[in-house]
Structure 1
């Protein structure tokens, strides 16, 4: 069998889905850490660890630049990457986007953390900017819920409770009851760092930098771009307004 024929036959056996992101659709790629519960228990403090947060932000910032994202949001072990509606990233191929974003996040996190870590990836699609705002409101709501649960669970564990006892104490408890539980141990959930409860947003912004033109001997102003890392995100309607005005969703 000739080489070209042999290669053609092997390529026919490759199974590749040709799905693409529809033209004009708003696409958000979300990567999630795989097996991160065990990873974080072994390597980081609970319920939150500043070093882990810095690694996640470094990974999010790398994704912002690598994939030409309009906005990136990270909370817990997940990162959401908002692509421009007119993106032609990997020809808008779904299989390429999810595989490469997962691989890229895994590589950056591994490099920053100094140990292997793996992310999976999926794509969320929206038709309008309003639906994009709904998505990020949803993820921020998840951040708040997970933060409250994490603070409750690990406060009980640090007090000597077993996994089963901590789970039983939280089972069926309302938000108010969980806040009361924490208050009983001297923790006011509303006073915990905002980034723990609301997540962290990243986007590219323009700013003016004063300078001097030596040829014309006069002051000038140059417009530069930088990455904004916001650890004090607002909530609810204020958060949606921020995304609408600053990120142009």
Structure 2
């Protein structure tokens, strides 16, 4: 048998077990990328609990993903980014391996470029059948953002007050939300006044705007509609956020059942 044999090549390709796995046509798909080992990575390079420089790097990575995947909505909180795909999208033949690996690669490259130091992301894929599922997904991630923000603020308040990592963890273990808020208040922090992007995450979506163009044929200025990415750091929360996401979904996936 020679390496050039067609049968040999076919058998090798058969061993690429998940290469044929695809996202079902018409499904609502979200790609989520997460920073790999970012707890230590960020502690060594950024202010805690939140650093605007880190957030800007995450937003730059989110913009790159939004452009490459033509995503109608991207959401980022902490060290994760969720990229919503249009149900009609047929990127890479909807291949799961391609979608997951390329999204992680783009995030790694874009964040590294923005931060100036190597960083790595891993990826996963989420599937929904209706627009309601998508609203549930982004509500879930925003709730996670709020939980992580509260825990992060409490943990780093304690660390900066002299507690060790273990001691800070012991204080927070089993503490209720009111108790955590009281802890912050005792150290001069009102959690409800913490910047919204820390508590609710950051959303990116396309918006239309008018600008003046020039018609070379008629040699006159004419109004033109363009698209640009809007970075929203003042997202609504809870039910209002669900409505916000639902409204973003209305122009896309019109064939999917929607009851939001």
Query: TM-score normalised to the size of structure 2?
Result: 0.90
Change over 3 Å in CA distance of 1:211–1:93 after alignment to 2: closer
Distance 1:214 1:23 in 2: 43
**In 2, distance between residues paired with 1:221 and 1:108?**
34
Aligned equivalent of 1:23, options 25, 30, 35: 25
Instruction: Give the conservation status (yes or no) of the 8 Å contact 1:213–1:220.
Output: yes
Tell me how far apart the structure 1 counterparts of residues 234 and 249 of structure 2 sit (CA, whole Å): 16
Per the alignment, residue 67 of structure 2 pairs with 65
Q: Is the 8 A contact 2:108 2:119 kept in 1?
A: yes
Determine which of 59, 83, 103 is the counterpart of 2:85. 83
What is the match of residue 181 of structure 1?
183
Question: Is residue 58–residue 111 contact of structure 2 (8 Å, CA) maintained in 1?
Answer: yes
User: Which secondary structure state, in structure 2, belongs to the residue aligned with residue 117 of structure 1?
Assistant: coil
Task: Give the aligned partner of residue 256 of structure 2.
Answer: none
Residues 189-198 or 164-173, more deviating? 164-173
Which is worse superposed, 191-200 or 234-243? 234-243
Which stretch of the first structure deviates more once superposed, 96-105 or 48-57?
Answer: 96-105
Instruction: Give the number of aligned pairs.
Output: 249
How far residue 212 of structure 1 moved from its aligned partner, in angstroms, is 5.5
**After TM superposition, which residue ranges in structure 1, 4 or more long, deviate above 4 angstroms?**
211-219
- What do residues 78-133 of structure 1 show as CA deviations (whole Å, max 9, x unaligned)? 00000000110110011111111111111111122122211111111000001100
TM-score for both structures, normalised by structure 1: 0.94
2:110 counterpart residue number:
108
Deviation string, structure 1 residues 26-61 (Cα, Å, up to 9, x no partner): 000000111000000000000000110000000000
Aligned-residue Cα RMSD (Å) equals: 1.8
Distance in 1, Cα, partners of 2:219 & 2:119: 53
Tell me the CA shift for residue 218 of structure 1: 5.5
Indicate the residue corresponding to 2:226 in structure 1.
Answer: 224
Unaligned 5+ segments in structure 2 are 253-260
Q: Which moved more, 1:111-120 or 1:208-217?
A: 208-217
> How far 1:13 sits from its partner (Å)?
6.3
Distance 1:247 1:205 in 2: 13
**Counterpart in the other structure of 2:134:** 132
Deviation at 1:227, TM superposition (A): 0.5
Match of 1:238 in 2: 240
Comparing 238-247 and 115-124, the one that deviates more: 238-247
Aligned to 1:123: 125
Which position in structure 2 is the counterpart of 1:171? 173
Question: Which residue in 2 is equivalent to 1:5?
Answer: 5
User: Once the 2 structures are TM-superposed, how far is the Cα of residue 209 of structure 1 from its aligned partner?
Assistant: 1.6
Q: Is the 8 A contact 2:139 2:242 kept in 1?
A: yes
Following superposition, the deviation at residue 234 of structure 1 comes to: 0.3
Q: Please give the alpha-carbon distance, in whole angstroms, between the structure 2 residues aligned to 1:91 and 1:97.
A: 9
Query: Once structures 1 and 2 are overlaid, which stretch shifts more, 110-119 or 221-230?
Result: 110-119
Distance 1:120 1:219 in 2: 48
Match of 2:194 among 181, 192, 195: 192
